[in-house]
Each structure stands twice: as structure tokens, then as C-alpha cells.
Amino acid sequence: MEEQIDWSSLSFGYRKTDYNVRCTFENGKWGELRVSDSEEVTMHMAATCLHYGQAGFEGMKAFRGKDGKIRVFRMDENAKRLQSTCNGILMAPLPDGLFEEAVKKVVKLNERWVPPYESGASLYIRPVLFGTGAQVGVHPADKYEFIVFVMPVGPYFKDGFKATPCCILRHYDRAAPYGTGRWKVGGNYAASLVPGTKAHEMGYSAVLYLDARSKKFIDEAGPANFFGIEGNKYVTPDSESILPSITNKSLMQIARDLGMEVEQRPMPEEELSKLDEAAMCGTAAVVAPIYKVDDLDENKTYQILPDAKPGPVCTKLYETLRAIQYGDLEDKHGWVYVFE
Ligand code: PLP
Ligand code: COI
């Protein structure tokens, strides 16, 4: 029996779909892709993902266009980033092409879960790769599992495209300069749970982390990168401890295409007072404008916008990105894989 879904009021959360795809690394090699309808994983109690955090993931989306066709955004970039995460925490990297094959397969198998064009929702694709081999000494596993599952989602920050407040909490770091921040490793998100929950309890949508070394420069938010707009300039932090966001990279290109100047460089916290607009960006967050940043330990407020109404540049960037993703604008950089 078909479940009735109100696609346009979906939030960002887990939902069971029909199938996931899986692949196992053992005896020194990756096996064949398998299709599963189970939501469960069975593994050894000494699996390295459980004790030593050998786990990484990705996040991407599929969109249904006006023409009914399904499009996936920049999956080659997510494939490369997962390889880099694997190299970063010594997990077995996937053979070339396996990531893309798994994503195409799982989207096709769950086609009925890709929300309709009009809803503005999308299918979130979550690849995850983790060590399942047993170790009690701190060593990499000799067995790994790669799973890709999907679910229809709405906006990550509730109410969708609306400006929200962020805060700086100086007594927490999510990643260190030579730590794992530049990879999509599970432990980075564990480190963000206490500050993230505190921020939510105080009414902020996210923590804006400063660099752990000097606490002078902006790094990123817990689940998204940060950028600011200064006149005709798009400015985004350069730092060893932030995740290289594919959305941010795409927005930098879109900004250039729109005739803006783009700067990726260390961004001192005080620069917040010069910004005309600011936002978080990521697959889940898309473009999430920020109207103020409170530095709670320093008792300072950076008021960026007067209220929750997004500024014109963030609006243009958001609309352009979405239009490319849904197939309403020409994909001139070859970012979109279309299912024919
Ligand atoms: N930064 C962090 C810490 C994230 O978890 C994400 C989400 O993936 C991003 C940035 C945005 O990256 P992307 O645009 O590739 O989704
Ligand atoms: C994403 O944007 O895909 C993320 O991974 C962010 C968050 C849900 C962890």
C-alpha cells in the first residue's frame, strides 16, 4: 500500500525507503554491490568504528526536475571527498567508479521516493563507510562496510530559506588544525553535539566555530561552511580544519559567473561587522542566511541583517544553485548527472 506523503512539509530526518546498497571489503578487496531491504547492520563487537571512530560519510541530493527526470548534483566530488576521508583515517578506499555506481543504483531502486518538482523537497543520499573488523589495539580494521541509503527530505534548518541567528562558543572546538576537520569523519560530529545542543537550547540555529589555534578566525558551522558578502565580494574562510564543502565550491563559481569577486582566505571574526550578508552553506543546509552572530563569551553581537529576511545576494545565489540542481537553468559546468 502506498503511504501518503505531504512532500512539501517534510523536514530533514530519517525515513525508511525501499532499498539500500552495500559492499564489503574483506580479504584485501572490495566485493560486489548488494541490494538490501534491511535497515540493520550486524558487526563484531570489537569493530573499529565502534571503539576508535573509523567511520566516515557523505551527503548529497537527487532532485526531480519539471521534466520529471531525476538529477544528482556533483557526485564525482563526493566520491573524491570520501576517498580523501578514507585516506585520512586509514580506511580501505573504494575502487574507481564504485561510489557512483552505488549512488545511481540506490536512487534508481528508490525512484518513487524522489519528491515531485513542485514540492521543493529532494532525496537525500547518505553514503557511509566504516571499519567492521575487530581490533582492540589501536590499528586500522581489515574489514569495512560501505552502505548507501536514501530518504526524502525538506530543509535542514526549519522554515527553509529564512535568516537565523548563530553563536560563537569559545570553550568548544569541533576540529583541530592538523586534526580530522578536513575529512567527513563521524567523530567531528560527536565533538559538535554538546555545543550544538547548547546553541539550539538558547535559540540559535548553529555554532559558528573559530579556529582552535588562535580563536581569531572563523572556521565553519557544525554542519555547513560559512561565507559572507561584502559589496560585490564573496568571502569564505580558508582553514586546515574545515570540511571542503562542495556547495561552497559551487557557490564560489556561481558568484564568479554573476560577476562577483571571490576570496578564500582566513577571515578574522571582526570581519563579521563589515558584512552586508552572511550564510551557512552545505548539501543539507543549501544556503542558510544568518541575521546575527552573538559571541557569547565576549558579550558581542554582530548584527548582519535587520531581521529574518534574507539579503538580495544570498537570495540570488540560493535561487541560482537550486535552479541548476532542479534543471531549470543550464548546467554549464557539467555538475548534474541526469537519469535518462
Ligand atoms: N561542513 C560540514 C562540517 C559539513 O558537515 C557539511 C556537510 O556536508 C558541509 C560543510 C557542507 O559540505 P557540502 O556542501 O559538500 O555538503
Ligand atoms: C550534509 O549537508 O550532507 C551534511 O552532512 C550535513 C549534516 C546533515 C551532517
Q: Which atom of ligand 1 is nearest to the CA of 77?
A: 15
Span 122-132, average pLDDT: 98
**pLDDT, mean over the chain:** 96
Q: Given a cut of 90, is residue 247 above it in pLDDT? A: yes
Closest CA to 112 of 21, 14, 16: 16
Distance between Cα 136 and ligand 2 center (Å): 30
Domain map (residue ranges) of the chain: 7-153, 164-326
**The CATH number of 164-326 is which of 3.20.10.10, 2.70.50.30, 3.40.50.300, 3.40.309.10?**
3.20.10.10
Confidence at residue 1, expressed as pLDDT on a 0 to 100 scale: 42
Q: Given a cut of 70, is residue 2 above it in pLDDT? A: no
Please answer whether residues 280 and 225 qualify as being in contact, where contact means their C-beta atoms are separated by less than 8 angstroms: yes
Q: Tell me the C-alpha distance between 130 and 143, whole Å.
A: 9
Looking at the chain, the whole-number percentage of residues with pLDDT higher than 70 is 99
* Nearest ligand, measured from the Cα of 221: 1
Chain segment 9-67, per-residue pLDDT in tens = 999 999 999 999 999 999 999 999 999 999 999 999 999 999 999 999 999 999 999 99
Residue in 78, 172, 245, 280 to alter for ligand 1 test, most ligand atoms within 8 A of Cβ: 245
Is the C-beta atom of 283 inside 6 A of ligand 2? Answer: yes
Span 110-119, average pLDDT: 96
Write the CB contacts of 227 (distance below 8 Å, at least 6 apart in sequence). 234, 235, 236, 248, 251, 278, 279, 281
Please answer whether residues 298 and 285 qualify as being in contact, where contact means their C-beta atoms are separated by less than 8 angstroms: no
Please answer whether residues 199 and 168 qualify as being in contact, where contact means their C-beta atoms are separated by less than 8 angstroms: no
Q: Given a cut of 60, is residue 222 above it in pLDDT? A: yes
Q: Which atom of ligand 1 is nearest to the CA of 174?
A: 3
Confidence at residue 4, expressed as pLDDT on a 0 to 100 scale: 83
Q: Given a cut of 70, is residue 170 above it in pLDDT? A: yes
Is the C-beta atom of 186 inside 6 A of ligand 2? Answer: no
Domain 164-326 in the same topology as domain 7-153? no
CA-CA distances (angstroms) from residue 55 to 58, 189, 255, 288?
11, 11, 34, 27
Confidence at residue 155, expressed as pLDDT on a 0 to 100 scale: 83
Exposure string over 225-238, b if 16+ CB within 10 A, otherwise e:
bbbbbbeeebbbbe
Q: Which atom of ligand 1 is nearest to the CA of 225?
A: 10
Chain segment 174-188, per-residue pLDDT in tens = 999 999 999 999 999
Locus of grid cell 571527498: 81
Locus of grid cell 554549464: 332
Chain segment 186-214, per-residue pLDDT in tens = 999 999 999 999 999 999 999 999 999 99
Residue in 226, 247, 254 to alter for ligand 1 test, most ligand atoms within 8 A of Cβ: 247
CA-CA distances (angstroms) from residue 319 to 10, 266, 308, 309?
20, 27, 17, 15
Q: Given a cut of 50, is residue 100 above it in pLDDT? A: yes
Q: Given a cut of 50, is residue 86 above it in pLDDT? A: yes
* Nearest ligand, measured from the Cα of 73: 1
Tell me the pLDDT band of 158, cut-offs 50, 70 and 90: confident
Q: Strand 286-295 and strand 164-168: pairing?
A: parallel
Distance between Cα 153 and ligand 2 center (Å): 12
Residue in 153, 283, 325 to alter for ligand 2 test, most ligand atoms within 8 A of Cβ: 283
A 10 A CB-CB count for 3 gives 6
Residue with the nearest Cα to atom 5 of ligand 2?
59
Span 335-339, average pLDDT: 97
pTM: 0.97
Distance between Cα 42 and ligand 1 center (Å): 28
CATH number of the 7-153 domain: 3.30.470.10
Three-state SS string over the chain comes to CCCCCCHHHCCCCCCCCCCEEEEEEECCEECCCEEECCCCCCCCCCEHHHHCCCEEECCEEEEECCCCCEEEECHHHHHHHHHHHHHHCCCCCCCCCHHHHHHHHHHHHCHHHCCCHHHCCEEEEEEEEEECCECCCCCCCCCEEEEEEEEEECCCCCCCCCCEEEEECCCCCCCCCCCCCCCCEHHHHHHCHHHHHHHHHCCCCEEEEECCCCCCEEEEECCCEEEEEECCEEEECCCCCCCCCHHHHHHHHHHHHCCCEEEECCCEHHHHHHCCEEEEEECCCEEEEEEEEEECCCCEEEECCCCCCCCHHHHHHHHHHHHHHCCCCCCCCCCEEECC
Length of the chain: 340
Burial (CB < 10 A; 0-12, 13-18, 19+), residue 28, is exposed
